[in-house]
């Protein structure tokens, strides 16, 4: 398998899942601005949407869309418990979280990173992110992770998206349960491995 990623982008959740599941994949860095790979080749030839992540399977097929890739990877190693069993209510609860994170949180951040966004657009987007964080903070109260005491792919995804707060001036201190969640996930060895590999944090001495 080959995982196409951009450092710190939503593809980091797929990278974390790879490592948490103990799966092997070649990491291929894509520049989401120039749409080029490190060897200079055209990333659009891999994913015509031009976005990360993309996962090239051993049979040559390419999967796109983060929430789909997260579930595919976790399903390759059911014993990792990164997703509940297919067909169970617990799995649908996980998908509920993935849908919420991708449509309501991830997309709310997009205008904050868009240089074409004016101040009014950014203020509106910021308000949306804060509302989503208000709700998530309540859901996390008294829990280790989004669905209980077990780390899942939804936690990897939320961790990555909420981490973008550091780049847009949002102080997570307003949401104690979410801030504690971020610290909890950041301390996981496989999460640290993924972040080190992407150059987001320095390797521990």
**pLDDT tens across 21-64, in order?**
999 999 999 999 999 999 999 999 999 999 999 999 999 999 99
Nearest Cα to 16, choosing from 205, 201, 204? 201
Strand order in the sheet with 62-64: 36-37, 26-31, 2-5, 54-56, 62-64
| pLDDT (average), residues 112-140 | 97
Q: Same topology for domains 2-81+191-197 and 89-188, yes or no?
A: no
Enumerate the domain spans of the chain.
2-81+191-197, 89-188
89-188 classified as CATH 1.20.1050.10:
yes
Per residue in 80-121, pLDDT tens?
999 999 999 999 999 999 999 999 999 999 999 999 999 999
**Secondary structure E strands in the chain:** 2-5, 26-31, 36-37, 54-56, 62-64
Average pLDDT over the chain, rounded to an integer:
97
**Residue 205 confidence (pLDDT):** 56
- What's the gap between Cα 108 and its chain centre? 14
pTM: 0.96
How many Å apart are CA 159 and CA 185, to the nearest integer? 7
Alpha helices in 22-152 (DSSP H): 66-76, 89-100, 107-113, 119-140
**Residue 106 confidence (pLDDT):** 98
2-81+191-197 classified as CATH 3.20.20.70:
no
How many Å apart are CA 197 and CA 168, to the nearest integer? 23
**Residue 97 confidence (pLDDT):** 98
């Amino acid at each position: 398998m080959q995982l196409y990623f951009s450092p710190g982008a939503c593809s980091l959740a797929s990278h974390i899942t790879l490592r948490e599941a103990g799966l092997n994949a070649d990491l291929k860095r894509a520049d989401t601005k120039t749409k080029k790979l490190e060897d200079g080749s055209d990333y659009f030839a891999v994913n015509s949407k031009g976005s990360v992540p993309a996962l090239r399977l051993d049979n040559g097929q390419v999967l796109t869309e983060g929430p789909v890739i997260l579930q595919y990877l976790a399903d390759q190693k059911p014993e990792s418990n990164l997703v509940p069993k297919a067909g169970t209510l617990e799995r649908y609860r996980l998908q509920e979280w993935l849908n919420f994170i991708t449509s309501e949180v991830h997309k709310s951040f997009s205008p904050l990173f868009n240089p074409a966004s004016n101040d009014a657009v950014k203020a509106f987007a910021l308000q949306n992110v804060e509302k989503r964080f208000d709700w998530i903070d309540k859901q996390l109260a008294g829990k280790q992770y989004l669905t209980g005491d077990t780390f899942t792919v939804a936690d990897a995804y939320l961790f990555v998206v909420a981490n973008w707060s550091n780049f847009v001036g949002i102080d997570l201190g307003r949401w104690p349960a979410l801030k504690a969640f971020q610290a909890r996930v950041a301390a996981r060895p496989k999460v640290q491995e993924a972040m080190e590999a992407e150059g987001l944090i320095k390797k521990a001495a």
